[in-house]
Every structure is written in structure tokens, then in C-alpha cells.
């Protein structure tokens, strides 16, 4: 029986994510979500205490997926700058594959929802920035980029770039690919951080 409950919860979250990737977004209500699933609102509340809890489920999915992959990158890649490149590529690629989740990541889907959801997204952003800062510090210590690079400012700039790309993707109704021109952009970033050009 618990497995079935888990499957139903996953189905609810999956449907919510699909509704969020509608290029003409409307406010999602529990009534519209229940209608999409062909169940009653009461059936939804048997699995989630509130709509906020459903959004928390989506945020948990993002955290587990993204940080699981980041941990793999940082444990396997011994070059700090390549860690940075791989992390940014991952964050842009995740948005590309999960348009609905992008609206959650930029807080767009959380407007008029419980305030704690936006706080949690802000914490997720801070955690990502801290991860980039750590990778940049490692790159500086290994002489992979300019020795005078301020890792905190560098990480903040990179995070602004990522969130900017997420915003463009969501606000352009998912038409503007977040990975567009990424290889060339990375060369610009690498040059800016004092890295010798690729041969």
C-alpha cells in the first residue's frame, strides 16, 4: 500500500510540473490540478496537506537531482575550472529539460504561494553559489585562473548569469534555449577569469 501512495504522490507532482510548462501560464489551483488528474480535490489532500507542500515536493526533486549530479562532478573532476563549467552546463541543461521546474527555480510559479517556498528557493540559489565559489577557490589554488580572482564575486557573477538564462527561458515561453551559445560564452568567461585560451 505505501508504494501505491508513493506512486500517486509522484503522479501528482509530475502533473503539476507539466502544468507549469504551459507557455501561457495561469495560476494553478488545486481544483485545476485535480481536474487534470481526474480526481477530487479531497483525493489530492490525502497525499499532500496543502498546495505549498506539493511545491515543496517539486523543490525537493530539484535539490536531490541537481545536488546529486553536482556531487558527482566535484568528486570525479579534479580541475576546479572544469568543475565550474560542468556545474553551469548542468544548471542550464536541467532548465532546458524541465521547463516547468524553471518557473519554480526563478520563483515565478511561487508568486502568491506560501512565503516559505520562496525562502527555500533562495536557500537553493545560495547553496549553488557557495558550490561555485568553492570550485573557483579550488581553481585559484591550482593556478587554473588568475591568482587575484575574488571567488565570492566570481561565483555571484556566474549565478547571476545562470538565473538570467533561466529567466529568459521562462519569460520567452520556453523558446530561448538556455544552452544557446554556451561553448562560446564559456570561452568569454574563462578569458575574463584569467585562464589561458584553449588550444
Residue 65: closest CA among 98, 23, 103: 98
CATH of residue 168? 1.10.357.10
Beta strands, E only, 77-124? none
| Domain assignment present for 30 | no
| Domain assignment present for 149 | yes
| Domain assignment present for 20 | no
Predicted local distance difference test score (pLDDT) of residue 1: 39
Q: What is the pTM of this model?
A: 0.92
| Domain assignment present for 93 | yes
Predicted local distance difference test score (pLDDT) of residue 23: 78
Q: Are 17 and 35 in contact (CB under 8 A)?
A: no
User: Rounded to whole angstroms, what are the CA distances from 153 to 31, 132, 133, 185?
Assistant: 44, 10, 8, 18
- Helix, strand, coil proportions of the chain in percent (round to 5)? 75, 0, 25
- Number of compact structural domains in the chain: 1
| Domain assignment present for 11 | no
Sign of CA pseudo-dihedral 155, 157, 161, 164 = positive
| Domain assignment present for 129 | yes
Supply the range of the domain harboring residue 66: 51-192
Residue 17: closest CA among 127, 94, 72, 70: 94
Predicted local distance difference test score (pLDDT) of residue 27: 82
Predicted local distance difference test score (pLDDT) of residue 199: 45
| Domain assignment present for 2 | no
- Residues 42, 186: Cα–Cα separation, whole Å: 49
Question: In angstroms, how far is CA 36 from the centroid of its own chain?
Answer: 25
Predicted local distance difference test score (pLDDT) of residue 112: 86
* Orientation angle between helical segments 182-192 and 80-97, nearest 10 degrees: 150
| Domain assignment present for 17 | no
- Residues 68, 89: Cα–Cα separation, whole Å: 15
Predicted local distance difference test score (pLDDT) of residue 26: 77
- Residues 64, 94: Cα–Cα separation, whole Å: 12
Which residues of the chain carry a pLDDT beneath 70? 1-4, 195-199
Amino acid at each position: 500500500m505505501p508504494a501505491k501512495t508513493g506512486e500517486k504522490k509522484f503522479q501528482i507532482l509530475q502533473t503539476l510540473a507539466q502544468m507549469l510548462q504551459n507557455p501561457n501560464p495561469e495560476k494553478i489551483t488545486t481544483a485545476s490540478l485535480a481536474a487534470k488528474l481526474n480526481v477530487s480535490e479531497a483525493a489530492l489532500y490525502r497525499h499532500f496537506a496543502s498546495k505549498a507542500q506539493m511545491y515543496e515536493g517539486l523543490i525537493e526533486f530539484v535539490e536531490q537531482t541537481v545536488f546529486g549530479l553536482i556531487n558527482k562532478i566535484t568528486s570525479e573532476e579534479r580541475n576546479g575550472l572544469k568543475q565550474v563549467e560542468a556545474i553551469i552546463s548542468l544548471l542550464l541543461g536541467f532548465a532546458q529539460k524541465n521547463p516547468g521546474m524553471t518557473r519554480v527555480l526563478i520563483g515565478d510559479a511561487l508568486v502568491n504561494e506560501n512565503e516559505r517556498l520562496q525562502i527555500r528557493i533562495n536557500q537553493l540559489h545560495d547553496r549553488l553559489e557557495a558550490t561555485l565559489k568553492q570550485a573557483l577557490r579550488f581553481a585559484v589554488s591550482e593556478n587554473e585562473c588568475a591568482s587575484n580572482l575574488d571567488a565570492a564575486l566570481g561565483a555571484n557573477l556566474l549565478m547571476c548569469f545562470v538565473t538570467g538564462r533561466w529567466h529568459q527561458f521562462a519569460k520567452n515561453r520556453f523558446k530561448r534555449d538556455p544552452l544557446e551559445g554556451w561553448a562560446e560564452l564559456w570561452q568569454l568567461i574563462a578569458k575574463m577569469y584569467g585562464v589561458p585560451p584553449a588550444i
